[in-house]
Structure 1
Amino acid sequence: MRVPLFSLLICIATALPARAEIWFDPDRLTGVAGAFCQQRPVGEVIAPDTQAQKIDLLPDIPDIIWPGAAVPAMPGISFGIRSVGTTADIYYPVLIEVTHPPFLNSGTTRQSYVTELGGEEPSINAYSFDTVEEMVPGPWRFRAWHNGALLYDVTFRVVAPELAPGVGDSCGGDFMS
């Protein structure tokens, strides 16, 4: 009787909705992870350790519309972490490291840039699918480091759009290059 019960538990566990694998240093940050509609950038910052060699600056700090781990691989979607400090302390420099499955043409699996986190105002560290090459399914992990200490660690699952129904349906896909 143990084998069928074990099989039943496996089936139930795989049928449950996925939650974001998220960890924040509770003494420094709190936040939410998920997806939102891509915004038109208002500027950029040079980031040589990224595929695009830059980080886009957004007009405002977007809300996470679809919290959770499942992100559809589709144009017009962005996903990441919206965080705020648990104190007024601002952390700089913070290394944001994003690891993901290999991009289709370049084989890129890691990107990073430097920013600041914390304080009383929210910030966002996110990824937007700008090219078809970037829309690779699998685990995408975001980590934030300050002076060797981990501030947050979040893993998303990029999936085919039909595996994340409703997420990003209202987003336009006219941002692709």
Structure 2
Amino acid sequence: MSLYNMLFGTNEIAPALLFILDLNQPDKIWDSGRFRDIYLNEDGTRIILYTRNGGGNRRHWDASHWKYKEGMDCPCPGCIITYKLKKHPNYIRDYDDDFDSTYAYVEFGVPKLFKEIAESLATGKKPQSIREKFDNYIERIKAGEEQIPEGIKKIFREIKKDLKKEGLY
């Protein structure tokens, strides 16, 4: 499980939105790469996929996908965002997160068949950026409203141990 998902989980309507776009389904036609979350924009006219396919992750992953040539047929996260998702019939655009460019947003239009449903599920609120989510999470911890998950505490204990071993802590 990723740090993002340990802290924030996924949107409760994520399975429905993935189904609407045929992303990450058993037929594997449209894979999202390093999926983190998916949600609607404020008025339900767009579906926004949130991945860890941004920044340096956009390059072809030669080391782990050496059997594949860079391009549409390669299943690495870099090729998925650079080549494959752009061919999705509802693709609008993709862009890296301003706070952490290793994350990327991919915007899709809502297929006609699902427009009414998507608009009814819209919250009227602009989705939070990763920076806003982290800032709000830290504020909740400081206020005693949120506890740091045990899995994250364990990761930080291991990092601290390694830093001590290297004389850096």
**TM range, smaller chain:** under 0.3
Pick the structure with more helix per residue.
Answer: 2
Pick the structure with more strand per residue.
Answer: 1
With a CA cutoff of 8 Å and minimum separation of 6, indicate the structure with the bigger relative contact order: 1
TM-score, L = length of structure 2: 0.24
TM-score, L = length of structure 1: 0.23
